[in-house]
A and B are shown apart, each in its own frame.
Chain A
Amino acid sequence: MKLEGTHELRAPRERVFAALLDREVLMRCIPGCERLEQTGEHTFAATLRAGVGAIKGVFQGNVRLEDIRAPDHYRIVVDGKGQPGFLKGTGDLDLTERDGLTVIKYTGDAQVGGTIAGVGQRMIQGAAKMMAAQFFTALEAEAQAAHEEQPPPQHNFFRLALRWLSGRLRRIFNRQA
């Protein structure tokens, strides 16, 4: 199964790339991620409670990051299995800058097998896209938050408070959207 898509993030590219390499941030952003342990420089062991609506399953797996070229590219290699089936895949993430936005283009190829592939085939692609959208929305919020924690000194308290509030609102709004 081929997967591809583009997401625009309102955050600087360096911050987005840094967030994409940060274990803590990834753990917060990956939908349903319950465990993400660093097992090597760029390898992780993960537990994922993934799914949509009532349909959920727990997956255990390994994640490896390859071909890291900050701040514009890396490849992610995933290999996991769980009660609902198994998943193997690779994905390339390319980051470009456009009008102050970070554009992330992802292309991937995944093999899904087991129960989930047998009965859920017609929904897998949609579910994957939905989870990708959730991931990038959360990542955008994280990259923006990281950005806001270190404000330039000329901001006074009120502007800071206002910024914080608008960031919060935007995040809440994004989450609901």
Chain B
Amino acid sequence: MIPTQFDYVAPTTLAEAVSLLAEHKDDAKILAGGHSLIPAMKLRLAQPQLLIDIGRIKDLSYVREEAGHLRIGAMTTHYELESSARVREICPLLSACAGSIGDVQVRNRGTIGGSLAHADPAADWPAAILALDAELVATSASGERTIKATDFFVDMLTTALAPGEILREIRVPLAQTHASQAYFKLPHPASGFAVVGVAVNLTRQNGACSAIGVGITGVAVKAYRATGVEQSLNGQTLDEQTIGAAALHAADGVEINADLFASADYRRHLAQVYTRRAIMAAAK
């Protein structure tokens, strides 16, 4: 439980952090909340030479409404999102998702940016970010770029972030957030990670579904949009039968994880059941 030797720097500006990262590349890791990285280092599963702590950088932790978007700083903790009354009002999916992460100690230190950049296949945020069609803003020495949530998750623990890039902000479009939303998950009893987690962002017009985003985590090597479910609900009147039938597509076209806790068949079943329940809850 003792990490290998490493160096530590705590820059106070984002520009400094970016140039340190450009200099040290793969030898360095960005330290955000540290609730995935530090345990991995203690087990010596991760052995970075240098930790760049971005916790001292001002203005990376905020939630702002601007130009039809909710802009969330990467260092905003899960707890800050969970406890914000304004977030609960305008984007309840974010509050629900934040509140379901780990335990209160984890939520008090862990950050949304850290979790997304780590891209654990069973983390909660990716499901919500996908369902909400969010965009992620990455900064590097050569400037800034915006990555769509659907392009961000590349593979297990692998994101579209280039080696010199730091995730700076998450932008959630608010146009659809009058929508009804829900996050349903079956947490692993020991770790709290999602065995299956389903985020739903639903917009209705005259009682029918006019747009829906369904993000699913825990099932595959990375979180994904359940496009099969979305397509079979678009334009449909939402009743128990339609939702039940659509939910059967929850794991279509995905290679399903299996581990000691849940076999692939059990996970597929859970994905269907939790998708049905989450959409039912959102449609209420």
* CB-CB under 8 A for A52 and B155, given A115-B44, A126-B221: yes
Q: Which of A119, A121, A123 contacts B43 (CB 8 A)?
A: A119
The answer to whether the Cβ of B7 comes within 8 Å of any Cβ in the partner chain is: no
Q: Are B157 and A53 in contact (CB under 8 A)?
A: yes
Contacting residues of chain B (42-58) with chain A, CB-CB under 8 angstroms: 43-48
User: Would you call B122 an interface residue if the criterion is a C-beta within 8 Å of the partner chain's C-beta atoms?
Assistant: yes
Residues B44 and A53 in contact, CB atoms below 8 Å apart = no
Let me know if A18 is at the binding interface, CB within 8 A. no
Give a binary string over A39-51; 1 marks a CB under 8 Å from any B CB, 0 the rest: 0000000000001
- Chain B CB count within 10 A is highest, among A55, A119, A121, A130, for A55
Q: Check if A52 sits within 8 Å of B157, measured CB to CB.
A: yes
B44:A54 contact, CB within 8 angstroms: no
CB within 8 A of B155: which of A51, A120, A130? A130
Q: Indicate whether B255 reaches chain A with its CB closer than 8 angstroms.
A: yes
B243-266 contact mask (Cβ, 8 Å, vs A): 1 or 0:
000000000000101111100000
Chain B at the A interface: mostly helix, strand, loop or mixed?
loop
| B15, CB-defined interface residue at 8 Å | no
Which A residues from 79 to 113 make CB contacts under 8 A with B? 83-84
A154 to chain B, nearest CB (A): 41
Contact A54-B43, Cβ < 8 Å, known A125-B258, A127-B156: no
Q: Could you say which of B39, B156, B188, B255 contacts A53, with CB atoms under 8 Å apart?
A: B156
Q: Is the CB of A56 within 8 A of B156?
A: no
Q: Is B119 an interface residue (CB 8 A)?
A: yes
Q: Which 7 A-B pairs have the closest CB atoms?
A: A53-B157, A126-B221, A122-B259, A54-B46, A52-B157, A55-B45, A126-B156
Could you tell me which A residues sit within 8 Å of B by CB distance?
Answer: 51-57, 83-84, 115-116, 119-127, 129-130
A-B residue pairs in contact (CB < 8 Å), sample of 22: A52-B156, A52-B158, A53-B118, A54-B29, A54-B48, A54-B157, A55-B40, A55-B45, A56-B45, A56-B47, A57-B44, A84-B44, A116-B45, A119-B43, A119-B45, A120-B45, A122-B188, A122-B261, A125-B257, A125-B258, A129-B221, A129-B255
